[in-house]
Structure 1
């Protein structure tokens, strides 16, 4: 099981949850998660033990966000296809992906991890610059990763009937 599959399993991402997460509102509001976590953990300076409240809220937000929105009327957009590509990426051990899609997502995930370490160090030591630097690295690498997932999905959508069924636009039907 890949690390991405373990994360998806931890967040209990079933087909219905993935369909809801493909809503662009879910994708774009999920980008607030890192900032909420940074603020929540930094709030220990101002709130002391009460910082556990914003920390809990941020963690709950991370779990609830993919479930919060309705299934989109269309997945024919960048944000939705990024999520669909993530599903394809998660399934790469079952249905192999083209060679040109294998390296860059791993590099981007590693960069995101390095950025996350900088954020953790910055928040732990209450240093703004490593926190900001790390957050920028995380956001840039994650958005680039999503862009690669769009490309991956476009290349793989015809690999299986299931992948193809994920792309729809009820307004055009």
Structure 2
């Protein structure tokens, strides 16, 4: 658990962000919101587009801190936090960050297809973005070795914030 007396306000807010984002509902819905976002663009649905953007913005803090983080969706968030805390960044020509670099043109392709209302390109581009992102998150889970914690773990209260 994060102490409210230690560290700066920014550190406490950042810890709260990551703790709440480690909720599997946060990670899972964040993955699933991308196709909805692309659909909103494809359909030119301003309300759905705005609602999707709002959801993306509040998603990491929308859900409560999970009681356990020994599930895959929580582990990808914890691994991302550890990865970034170690200064490894998200872009680069090294593996797995090259996957995010490759995702740039795929994202542009998906957006261009949705804007042009090309259904096959929109679907393929959206799937490509999701595959590359999930491949990156899976790789950082493996590289960091993050396992999360469950109710039977001795340090389960502290491991969400790590």
Structure 1 CA distance for aligned equivalents of residues 71 and 144 of structure 2? 12
- What is the alpha-carbon root mean square deviation over aligned residues? 2.2
- Offset of 1:131 from its aligned partner? 0.9
Give the corresponding residue for 2:29: 29
1:123 to 108, 114, 119: 114
Instruction: Please say if residues 21 and 66 of structure 1, whose CA atoms lie closer than 8 Å, have aligned partners that are also in contact.
Output: yes
Whether the aligned pair in 2 keeps the contact of 1:73 and 1:171 (CA below 8 Å) is no
Q: TM-score, normalised by structure 1?
A: 0.71
Higher relative contact order at CA 8 Å, sep ≥6: structure 1 or structure 2?
2
User: Do the aligned partners of 2:38 and 2:126 also contact (CA within 8 Å) in 1?
Assistant: no
TM value normalised by structure 2: 0.76
Secondary structure of 1:70's partner? coil
Structure 2 gap ranges (5+) = 1-12, 155-162
Structure 1: stretches of 5+ with no match in the other structure: 1-12, 45-50, 158-165
Number of aligned pairs? 139
For residues 53 and 171 of structure 1, the distance between their equivalents in structure 2, rounded to whole angstroms, comes to: 44
Does the aligned pair in 2 maintain the 1:108–1:145 contact within 8 Å? yes
Structure 2 partner of 1:169: 150
